[in-house]
Amino acid sequence: MFLSFIIPAFNVEKYISKTLESLLAQTDKDFEVIVIDDGSTDGTRNVVTRTLSKSGFRHYRVISEENRGASFARNVGIKNAEGEYILFLDGDDYVAPSLVEEVKKKAEASFSQIVFWKFRVVSEEGQNFSRRQPSFDKLSPERIYRGEEILRSILIDKNAWICIGSAAFRKDFVLANSLFFTENCRYGEDPEFTLKALCLASRIAFVNKTLLFYVQRRESISRTISLDLLQFPIALERVEEFIKNNRFWNQEEFDAFLKAVLEYRLISFCRIFALISCSANRLRFKEVLQEIDKAYPGLFCRAFLEARGRKDFVSKLYLEDKIGVRLFSFSPVLFFYFSKLYLPLRDAVKSIIASYSSGRR
């Protein structure tokens, strides 16, 4: 069997049928579907069982687990997968009908450890959700890349990205390197897994087609503004330690990638801190700082000291992010109150522009 789709599912009864139907519509049926029901309290398992059983497709399994998070569920999937390659898909995303066919053709021709492709971030209605989508214009589908080349495209040049559903990983490569998701981590586990895999890979192929549709749900976005988001920069700290402990490249590349991951972590921290600052129940800087230090001791201090130490950036960054890091390094208090003013204004302007564009269509 060529490919195992591993789908952690928690309370996605409204969405997962579209995910599964996109798999059942594949032009090449050389795959299996493994759904790990992560302790859902709605009708997710019933929807999955009904959709797959009535389809006539036989290569599927539904595994029920207690609610232990997507990372645990994906690790269960890895251990149960029978495919030559594995692909992690969220229970509300969907794929193009030709995904298995295209990826199989590329994998068989290239003997790659990782095959990845373009994706689109879309709303529940299928509309483009974000204008900040990578161009992939510097990558060639004819080449076999080393891991450090793709890391440079992602972290430094910013013209590519791999989200968790836009790559297939050779299973023996994953197991040989003990690549598993960090359990009890709700945010940042995806880039942690992907960046570590890229550090280890020596053969990577690119499919120059959009094969994944990554869905951003409105309810999901509104629910996620919490201190738990700070697990994201902590996950990137683990990537930094992984790079330091393995020293994959020459000194110049080692320094560049380490700085690039650190910059990614600082930007992530500043963006999350800004979101937390805008929460309605957090009015004073001191209160927010105390909450962060209680939940994640030392994280704020590390971010501030590293921001202060940034004289220049190795990565190509958005101007908004550069200004944010500089302002945070100058005065976290000023950054806090500026965020409370700037983010609502920015979002209001975006909403007006989106409404105007929709009206013109």
Whether the predicted pLDDT of 204 surpasses 70: yes
Residue 280 has pLDDT above 60, yes or no: no
H-type helices in 83-158, by residue range? Answer: 99-110, 147-151
Distance of CA 227 to the CA centre of its chain: 18
Closest CA to 100 of 109, 111, 110, 87: 87
Instruction: Say whether pLDDT at 310 is over 90.
Output: no
Give 328's pLDDT tier (boundaries 50, 70, 90): very high
| Strand positions, DSSP E, the chain | 3-9, 31-38, 60-65, 85-88, 94-95, 114-122, 167-170, 204-215
More confident residue, 111 or 346: 111
Q: What is the pLDDT of residues 48-101, one digit of tens each?
A: 999 999 999 999 999 999 999 999 999 999 999 999 999 999 999 999 999 999
Query: How high is the pLDDT of residue 212?
Result: 97
Compute the distance between CA of residue 242 and CA of residue 257 in angstroms, rounded to an integer: 12
Q: How many residues belong to the chain?
A: 361
Contacts of 311 (CB under 8 A, 6+ apart): none
Q: Above 80 in pLDDT, residue 129?
A: no
pLDDT, average across residues 307-333? 91
Higher pLDDT, 133 or 323: 323
Q: What phi and psi, each to the nearest 5 degrees, are found at residue 80?
A: -100, -5
pLDDT at 137 over 60: yes
Contact 139, 132 (CB under 8 A): no
| Domain 3-221 in CATH 3.30.70.1560 | no
Averaged over 122-151, what is the pLDDT? Answer: 85
Ordered DSSP codes for 225-247:
-SGGGGHHHHHHHHHHHHHHHH-
Q: Name residue, tokens 């440079």.
A: 152
pLDDT of residue 108 exceeding 90: yes
| Across 140-167, average pLDDT | 96
| Whether the predicted pLDDT of 264 surpasses 90 | yes
pTM of structure: 0.93
Domain residue limits, the chain: 3-221, 225-351
Q: Note the pLDDT of residue 355.
A: 56
| pLDDT bucket at 352, cuts 50 / 70 / 90 | low
Q: How confident is the model at residue 361 (pLDDT cuts 50, 70, 90)?
A: very low
- The answer to which of 96-105, 277-286, 330-339 has the lowest mean pLDDT is 277-286
Band (220; pLDDT cuts 50, 70, 90): low
Give which of 114, 122, 78 is closest to 96, Cα–Cα: 122
Q: How confident is the model at residue 133 (pLDDT cuts 50, 70, 90)?
A: confident
**Distance (Å, whole) CA 231 – CA 235:** 6
Burial of 49 (0-12, 13-18, 19+ CB in 10 A): middle
CA 30 centroid distance within chain? 26
